[in-house]
Structure 1
Amino acid sequence: MSGSIAFVGDGLTAGGRWEEWFHGYTVHNLGVSGNTTDDVMARLPEIAELRPDAVVLQVGTNDVGWRRSDEYIVRNIETILVLLRRGLPSVRLIIQSVVPREREYAPTIRSINRHLWQFAPTQKVVYLDLWPTLAQPDGELDPAYSEDRLHLTDAGYDAWIAVLKPAVEDIFERPPVTSAIPVQQV
């Protein structure tokens, strides 16, 4: 496989060893610790400038930690996806579910992820659900993958990559999107 991939997100993305895990691709790690959906939105021109073949987005957990509403977070992530699609019409896009963290946040994160799962197809975006891999039945991040219920250990990254790698390989087996789906302006 070959092509360029921009991994975009917060500290979970920043901590990834993407070049090691995705050798054969040109990799851009655009993860920034502490980033929220607002921060990622502000960095969209930087992402567009790279003109990657694929964007793998993982963001939202810091918004949850700041106790922003699920509606706010969903609106921002949807806006990010629409703007990426508009600015890079043929880019391959993967939106990953907001990663589980402490149990108290599970209802909000589940709501966000349900909305993203429903929205993704409208922009020809692949939705990758990380919950079956990383969450316990009560919605808390599995302690086997984290020491603080927020950041991932090596075992957590291994579990994440085990589901992400096939998704990335799959999107590169398909032709790129050829046109954006227009979104009505209200």
Structure 2
Amino acid sequence: MLRTVVLSVLSVHLCWAQNPWEPVPEQGYGLGKHNEFLKYTSEHKDQVKAVFIGASITEYWQQEGKQYWNGFAAKGAVNYGIGGDQTTGVLWRIQNKELDGLHPKVIVVGSGPGENFMGSHTSTSWSDVLRAHKEIITELRAKSPQSKLIVVGHTPYGDHVSNEKSKLINAELKKVADDKTVFYIDISSHLTDASGKQLDSMFRTDHVHLSTAGYKVWSDQMGPLFDRLMQ
């Protein structure tokens, strides 16, 4: 049976003594959510058909994106997104039983930077964040080899420096996809105008996270692939 894993845009919890591709245990809110996911995994192993894993952009499917998330949930999708998470935290969660015993057809991972190179951490290189994303893909393939991965590229950011780094990462992430076990989608062109500037209607006022209209774009653009891989 075709198994699919979709990767959704990541914002990840980072200990700055660590590299972005090295796992760091969750703390505070992230640890609480991780424990919730462990409980859900333990109690619903046979019901989970798809997993969305990542940071805030993933978690907010159940906020701004709720009306579109319900369509994925009806097909057996669960949301393992944690707002404020970073690549280091996502890696740690994969290695610490969040997916153990699950056999999803699809895993969706979002690849947003979160604090990886924004805010006070702008010196973090795009190549280091790319390495972290590739490590997440490797970990997911090892943890759930029967699944298909959908890698969702970085969405546009209001900050120019972060946006340019994201474009470089997306160009390299696209090369990882083989359209057999790993699939890549980039919805950026649907969220910007002809000059590449964010469409205000697609984003929250922070110019990072998607609005309800932005989640509709994501749902519309990913939906056909998701449904095909779920068969």
Greater Cα shift, 83-92 or 14-23 = 14-23
In structure 2, what is the Cα distance between the partners aligned to 1:48 and 1:145? 31
TM-score w.r.t. the length of structure 2 is 0.68
Residue 166 in structure 1 maps to residue 216 in structure 2: no
Tell me, yes or no, if the aligned pair for 2:48 and 2:78 is still in contact at 8 Å. Answer: no
CA contact (8 A) 1:128 1:167 kept: no
Q: Deviations over 1:24-73 (max 9, x none)?
A: 32221111001111111111133431332210000332123232211111
Candidates 100, 117, 136, aligned match of 1:64: 117
- Conserved 8 A contact 1:85-1:123: no
Please state if 1:7 is matched with 2:22. no
Tell me which of 50, 59, 74 is aligned to 1:24.
Answer: 74
Letter in 1 for 2:108: V
The structure showing larger relative contact order (alpha-carbon pairs under 8 Å, at least 6 residues apart) is: 2
Counterpart pick for 1:85 among 127, 141, 155: 141
CA contact (8 A) 1:82 1:123 kept: no
Unpaired segments of 5 or more residues in structure 1? 174-186
Matched, 1:143 2:196: no
Equivalent position SS for 2:77: strand
Aligned Cα RMSD in Å? 2.1
Which residue in 2 is equivalent to 1:183? none
Q: Is 2:107 aligned against 1:107?
A: no
- Unaligned stretches of 5+ in structure 2? 1-46
CA positional deviation for 1:151 = 1.5
Say whether residues 1:116 and 2:173 are aligned partners. Answer: yes
Determine if contact 2:189/2:196 at 8 Å carries over to the other structure: no
**Structure 2 Cα separation of the partners of residues 64 and 21 of structure 1:** 33
Q: Percent identity?
A: 23
Please state how far the C-alpha of 1:122 moved relative to its aligned partner: 8.7
CA distance in 1, matches of 2:225, 2:117: 25
Q: Which amino acid aligns with 1:107?
A: E
For residues 119 and 77 of structure 1, the distance between their equivalents in structure 2, rounded to whole angstroms, comes to 10
| Alpha-carbon shift at residue 140 of structure 1 (Å) | 3.8
The verdict on how the C-alpha distance between 1:19 and 1:151 changes in structure 2, with shifts beyond 3 A counting, is closer
Q: Following the alignment from structure 1 to structure 2, what is the Cα–Cα distance between the partners of residues 13 and 134?
A: 17
Distance 1:89 1:166 in 2: 22
Distance across 1 between alignment mates of 2:179 and 2:76: 28
Which of 188, 197, 201 is the aligned partner of 1:131?
Answer: 188
Q: TM-score, normalised by structure 1?
A: 0.83
List per-residue Cα deviations over 1:91-115 (Å, max 9, x = no partner): 1110000111114122111100000
Matched-pair contact (CA < 8 Å) for 2:150–2:185 = yes
1:35-46 correspondence runs (5 A): 35-45=85-95, 46=97
Match of 1:182 in 2: none
What secondary structure, in the 3-state scheme, does the structure 1 residue paired with 2:200 have? coil
Query: Do the aligned residues in 2 keep the contact of 1:103 with 1:138 (CA within 8 Å)?
Result: no
